[in-house]
Structure 1
Amino acid sequence: HLLGYRDFYKHRFIVTADVLDPRPDTETLIEAALAVPFTRVLDLGTGSGCILLSLLGDRPDATGVGTDLSDAALAVAGRNAAALDLQSRATFLQSDWFADVAGSFDLIVSNPPYIAADEMAGLQADVRDHEPRMALTDEADGLTCYRIIANGAHAALNTDGHLMVEIGPTQGAAVAEMFAANGFAKIQVTQDLDGRDRVVFGQKSGG
């Protein structure tokens, strides 16, 4: 935040106090997403836009939508899209998860707030005190957002579409169970470079 930018995946992103600072762990989600076919992608809780824009940067034929509750975060995402010359393929809108999202997608990705409220005090001070709280915690058990995403994703995905989310390293089994309960197949939990569970993904089944 002092520098005003962060290098993430293949690009440099503007970051401010209004968005989560992109972390190398999240590149695990990018790599997993780029391993499946998509031309239309939805990024829920887009923040700086780093996930959506990284995906569009590697897929010249793809377009996408990034949502966030924060107007300030959406402004940062828009600046990043312009800086990377991706504004013609990326749309950003204010939405409470799926509430204002229209259309269907081949891929849904998200790095939602997953830190439990009772874990916030134990975070490093530079994270706890300088990053937007709403991007860090659901103010509950850390799993609230996954329940919403897993419940709503099936209706927003095209046939054979994929859902992928970043998780905290202890949440793999719980989030995988949510995917299964909501009709997803081929569910997998993948690890980051440190060997910690980092991404859960599944494929829409049932047509």
Structure 2
Amino acid sequence: MTTPRDLLTVALDVGSSRTIERGDLSLVLAGAEVIDLLDAQALALEGDRIVPGARWMPPDSLLDEAASALVREAPYESVEDWLWRRGRGLADVYVAALEREGQLTRQRHRWIPVDTGRTALADSPARRRAADRWASGEPVLAALAATLGIGEPPAGDAPEIADDSVVTVLAAVNDAVMELEAVRQRRAIEEAAYDNIWRVP
């Protein structure tokens, strides 16, 4: 399993203190991909720029897609730009991959054989590994999940993440999610104002 897959599994298993927006999840999954590619030395960060490393064949098709999508010419791409570009619709891509692999199934109505639109995680080794990683309090997974409102705030000091590049990615993910939420709020205000215009007698 990879960090994005573990994160999605935890999101489906544990849930969140708030409704998880698909856009938020997509941005966080894109950040998780960068962190895994950093760990595999398939890329490095220079400041906030993603510099591709050697071509790498990961054991995961979606990470392979991510590695292939890296901008390979200077001045390269910022982490922020990557999140918005790669993150577009990424949650749906990961959900579809888990469904294809049989790790995520569509629930059917109890008496009528129709799709209810709800999904359920299959009991699989991948799910158990993600649960173990989550239970261990692994700091990167915990930080990504916290951005989505998953999990309880740590009682004491949170485990420190020593890798400055990972910290840079986590900060960019948090900023992007906050920016997307601000856009949603602004649109809601504009729509409410527009509706109020038509209610004036």
- TM-score normalised by length of structure 1: 0.28
Of Structure 1 and Structure 2, which has the larger fraction of its residues in helix?
A: 2
Of Structure 1 and Structure 2, which has the larger fraction of its residues in strand?
A: 1
- TM-score normalised by length of structure 2: 0.29
Structure with the greater alpha carbon radius of gyration: 2
Q: Which has the higher contact order (CA 8 A, sep 6+)?
A: 2
